[in-house]
Amino acid sequence: QQTSRGSYKLYNAELSAIMSNKARLLFDLKAAIEKRQLSVVYQPQFCVQENRMTGLEVLVRWNHPERGVISPAEFIPLAEQNSLICGITDFVMRQAIDELTEHGLLYRDVQRVSFNVSAADFNGNESCDRFLANLSQLPGDWSVIELELTESAALLNLEGVRQVLEKLTAKGVQVSLDDFGTGYSSLNTLRLLPIQEVKIDQSFVKDIVQNKQDAKLVKTILAMAQALHLRVVAEGVETHAQANYLMTAGCQEFQGFLYARPMSINHLITFIKNLKQRQRAQS
Ligand code: C2E
Ligand code: MG
Ligand code: MG
Ligand code: MG
């Protein structure tokens, strides 16, 4: 009894420590959105065969004053559960468009900018207007913008998502199905939503060279994408062996640490300058 009560107490203490940790994180996150402690980084994507950068994925970062950089994998779920996601999406979209246009990269060096969006971004009647407002500062064609949506997010609110995406794609916005193959109903999502691209999830890429099953699944995704005229981007490419394997299987576009890590706007400017220099030297 004594021990069981003791362990119960311990459990309770641990639980409340975790709870207050989470509550604290939530409190800090609300402040962070207001105090502009969030920032964006960019990860380039490449067509290796044609030796060119095809686009950028925008990823949010939280620079916490005490804890340092906190991963979106940790705070995006928290934001999603607490109605904070729209504020983050608005910030990320506006900030990236601002930075890229301010430095003259958009349309000249960058032909596609992909943003991650959540199910909650599609809730309510005003959700489409929010996207329209966020994109209103674009100095050109909206086809440079792509929204990355996971299957699980799409399924949470399929009809709401569909209505908004139909309106946005009519204006040229592209749609990508992120983490493709990890959701419950990948094919149904492809059937019901206006989608132009799938991103092969990193978990398939990771062991593609050794694991025959993963390799076959990736080949099947590529064949399906080809039949449906979808673009395919492989995510999380870290080694030449993975890249070669994917290339032989017919994959055209690559994103991963092998090519470039997510980087700040200042690093991106240098990165693009160096890339252009190398391309000029080769031609
Ligand atoms: P995601 O959209 O699937 O993004 C890809 C993640 O893989 C990023 O992690 C990226 O840094 C990481 N990555 C890229 N290349 C490699 C590689 O070669 N190896 C490995 N191991 N990882 C690689 P990050 O930035 O930590 O983002 C995690 C997730 O958080 C994203 O997954 C996305 O679901 C979510 N997220 C990030 N930014 C936003 C945002 O602005 N809004 C929303 N709603 N979600 C976001
Ligand atoms: Mg993504
Ligand atoms: Mg992904
Ligand atoms: Mg992911």
Residue environment code for 129-143, b if the CB has 16+ CB neighbours within 10 A, otherwise e: ebbeebbeebeeeee
Sequential DSSP letters for 130-175: HHHHHHTT-SS-GGGEEEEEEHHHHHHTHHHHHHHHHHHHHTT-EE
pLDDT of residue 22: 83
pLDDT of residue 2: 45
Mean pLDDT by 10 residues, the chain (283 residues): 52 69 88 91 95 97 92 94 94 97 97 97 94 95 97 91 97 96 83 96 96 95 95 98 96 97 98 94 85
pLDDT of residue 15: 67
pLDDT of residue 14: 72
Q: Which ligand is nearest to the Cα of residue 88, counting in written order?
A: 1
* Residues 71, 77, 81, 86, CA torsion sign: positive
Cα 280 to Cα 278: distance, rounded to the nearest angstrom: 5
Cα 166 to Cα 158: distance, rounded to the nearest angstrom: 12
Q: Within 6 Å (CB) of ligand 1, which residues are found?
A: 43, 59-60, 71-73, 76, 88, 92, 116-118, 148, 178-179, 202, 235-238, 255-257, 262
Q: Which ligand is nearest to the Cα of residue 57, counting in written order?
A: 2
pTM of the model: 0.93
